Structure 1
Amino acid sequence: MCAYKVIIIDDEPPAREVIKHFLQDHNDFELVGEAENGFDGLKQVQAQHPDLIFLDIQMPKLTGFELLELIDQPPAIIFSTAYDQYALKAFELHAADYLLKPYNKARFEEGLAKARKLLNQSKPPIATEDLVREYLQEPIHRIVVKDGTKIDIIPTDEIIRITAQDDYSEIITAKSKHLKKQTMKHLEEVLDPRKFVRVHRSSIVQVSQIAKIDKYGKETHLALLKNGDEVVVSATGYARLRELLGW
């Protein structure tokens, strides 16, 4: 049997060394790469196609969650993090395991055993969207999008609107358009509800970008945005706008 391929992604060199040291006792796991930030980690994942990633959450350039969103089929994940027990409840549901820093060899062995069991059972990849929704304590402030080998980081304040495009969401700013393989439902739940409203099943708009709203049909309205775009507003979307704006 071939060894499971492992990549370590953590911005702390001592943390990476601890994992490498503990892995030496396990011939069924092979370390094939390591990275100190999310960008380099993504390159390693794309090149090596690992079976297991030891992943830190708070890293420079890209967070662990942002990295996962850019991987089409995330492998088994063991989070290595300094977050408290409350924040870690989501990891228990959607990851192989989490290692709360600092941890000892016994705790590492426990996590690796869980990952081994998961890999042997060939379970589906990590449910990234579910994990992010359950973990987040506050709305996101940026969206990371992969375009070929290029990665764009879009501050949410720059977003004018988002539209559904089959399995993707199209994120529109004043300067550009970006396609992200992510559901509208997920974006609706992680964006700031005080700033963004889903006005239609296929449209999310930043409320500050609305110039005016006119009656459009029997139960619909038409929002004219400041950039000149027009967006159909459903009856449900209009009710959400009225509630937010206090009309």
Structure 2
Amino acid sequence: MRVLIVDDEYLARAVLRESLAPHPDVEIVGECANGFEAVKAIAEHDPDLVFLDIQMPKLDGFEVVELAGSKPHYIFATAYDQFALRAFEVHALDYLLKPFSRERLAEALAQARLRMPAVDRAHDSHQAPAIEALVKEAAARHQPLERVLIRDGARVHVVASGSIDYIEAQDDYVQISAEGKRYLKHQRLSELEAQLDAAVFVRIHRSYIVNVGAVRRIEPVSKDNHCAVLDGDVRLPISRSGYQKIRELLG
């Protein structure tokens, strides 16, 4: 079992490395101190299993999964339990709360050994026991997306959610407009909508999500149709249901 360790704290990496040593079937193929290093190392080393910290500089653990893909299995390790729900959503094998015992680590490795033959992880409904035990209490603290990652060839753009003016659906992609720039991201509009703060972003049309703070005014287009006017005279269509939603948010 080829293992990659990702944690921004050297001591945490050292402890995990030492704890994995008694397991003869585990080969540590690399260690990373931040998310960017992790994405690169996953592509280079093709590990079977990644032990992944969540709160790290540059990219957090969930962003690493988004960029690196779901080919390896992931076991999240963190000192905070509020991330359990998101760990479950990205189909993590297990979720270790620091500090964890060697016995608890052995349980996580046992889960990994059982799951290695699995081919289609994305549609596997199995819930790791540690995640299942934490999901309900973590759900109430599930936080909206604070930043959006856009892969552009070898580059990665990190866009703060608050800087986004509007988002437009383009088939299986979304075009994100933020601070005068536009980015194309491979994601469904409905998926991104579910991750954004509903108190800030509203779906005004089947093809558009807008940041309420970016709306300068709402103008009638015809008897039953309206449009949202943003800076630069950008005009976005508003559906009937979208009109009700945005009026509620605007008060």
TM bucket by the smaller chain?
Answer: 0.7 to 0.9
**Structure-2 separation of matches of 1:217 and 1:244:** 22
Is the 1:9–1:54 contact (alpha carbons within 8 Å) kept by the matching residues of 2? yes
Is the 1:7–1:31 contact (alpha carbons within 8 Å) kept by the matching residues of 2? yes
What residue number does 1:88 align with?
A: 84
What residue number does 1:215 align with?
A: 220
- State the shift of 1:24 in Å: 2.7
Is the 2:212–2:249 contact (alpha carbons within 8 Å) kept by the matching residues of 1? no
Is the 2:63–2:149 contact (alpha carbons within 8 Å) kept by the matching residues of 1? yes
What residue number does 2:187 align with?
A: 182
List alignment gaps of at least 5 residues for structure 2: 125-130, 132-137
SS of 2:99's partner is coil
TM-score (norm 2): 0.85
Is the 1:52–1:76 contact (alpha carbons within 8 Å) kept by the matching residues of 2? yes
**Structure-1 separation of matches of 2:233 and 2:27:** 55
**Structure-1 separation of matches of 2:113 and 2:225:** 53
What residue number does 1:48 align with?
A: 45
- State the shift of 1:120 in Å: 2.0
- State the shift of 1:157 in Å: 2.2
Query: 1:68 is matched by which residue type in structure 2?
Result: V
- State the shift of 1:26 in Å: 3.1
**Structure-1 separation of matches of 2:33 and 2:140:** 23
What residue number does 1:28 align with?
A: 25
**Structure-1 separation of matches of 2:180 and 2:193:** 22
**Structure-2 separation of matches of 1:69 and 1:121:** 20
Is the 1:55–1:77 contact (alpha carbons within 8 Å) kept by the matching residues of 2? yes
Q: CA RMSD in A?
A: 2.5
After TM superposition, the structure 1 = structure 2 runs for residues 119-198 of structure 1, keeping only pairs within 5 Å, are 119-125=116-122, 137-198=142-203
Name which of structure 1's ranges 196-205 and 182-191 shifts more when overlaid on structure 2: 182-191
Match of 1:229 among 219, 234, 237: 234
Percent of paired sites with the same residue = 41
TM-score (norm 1): 0.86
**Structure-2 separation of matches of 1:113 and 1:20:** 17
**Structure-1 separation of matches of 2:20 and 2:123:** 22
- State the shift of 1:227 in Å: 2.2
User: How has the CA–CA distance of structure 1 residues 135 and 187 changed in structure 2, closer, same or farther, with 3 Å as cutoff?
Assistant: farther
Match of 1:69 among 66, 70, 90: 66
**Structure-2 separation of matches of 1:26 and 1:217:** 70
- State the shift of 1:63 in Å: 0.8
- State the shift of 1:21 in Å: 2.1
**Structure-1 separation of matches of 2:101 and 2:114:** 20
How many residues of Structure 1 are paired with residues of Structure 2 in the alignment?
238
List alignment gaps of at least 5 residues for structure 1: none
**Structure-1 separation of matches of 2:140 and 2:52:** 15
Name which of structure 1's ranges 231-240 and 116-125 shifts more when overlaid on structure 2: 116-125
**Structure-2 separation of matches of 1:168 and 1:223:** 22
**Structure-2 separation of matches of 1:23 and 1:7:** 11
SS of 1:193's partner is coil
**Structure-1 separation of matches of 2:64 and 2:249:** 32
**Structure-1 separation of matches of 2:187 and 2:111:** 28
Match of 1:12 among 6, 9, 12: 9
